[in-house]
Amino acid sequence: MVTINLAPPPLPASAGFHPAHLGASFEQVKQALYTYGALLFRNVDLTPEEIRDPVKAFGPESTAYGHGNSKVDQTKTSVLHSYLKTIPRVPQVQLIGHGIVHDHEGIPEAVLKHAHHSSFHKTCVSDEDEAHGVTRFFRWHMDAALYDLDPPKVTALYGIGVPKGSNQVVRYDDGRDWIGSRVEKLRKGLERVGLG
């Protein structure tokens, strides 16, 4: 049996573009996102407003993220309650993570957990596959137009403290693994438009 070792392709150096300052560059950023499906802005510090505003630029008619309301924090029985906390002054932005966070953007204390994919999938990967880095998609999405809330056209994920860990392979319901060609397409797209 041949062992195949997969490694993520290297990403291009940053172009120094700050997503909070779209201005005249918005059309270029918009075209790049629609062409390549994702954009990466490295080494930028963003406020919650600076996370929300570029997302809103893609769909000004959308006034709230799918979960963008304070009801999530107030509904203790919500499945989302332990996974995210709404930023009080910018309810379209949520804090997601694992562990206890103190004094973050108006939240005195947040106890967050990163759930296992088994809490949302009927079938799970085997213990052996999981030990080799195989997992399933979990719950990060932006298509939940919950209770008459209009979702935005795009979404953003801002990593404040991203833990180091082993590479993972995401497995679809039908058994296919997600890696390789999509990552390569993204890498080439980022290089082509200089937005890395």
Q: What is the DSSP letter of 152?
A: P
Q: What is the pLDDT of residues 149-173, one digit of tens each?
A: 667 788 888 888 777 777 777 777 7
Mapping DSSP to helix (H, G, I), strand (E, B) and coil, where does residue 66 land?
coil
Q: Are 189 and 32 in contact (CB under 8 A)?
A: yes
Q: Are 177 and 136 in contact (CB under 8 A)?
A: no
Q: What is the pLDDT of residues 54-64, one digit of tens each?
A: 988 988 887 76
User: Which pTM value belongs to this model?
Assistant: 0.69
Distance CA 58, CA 27 (A): 10
Tell the burial category of 6 from Cβ atoms under 10 Å away from its Cβ (0-12, 13-18, 19+). Answer: exposed
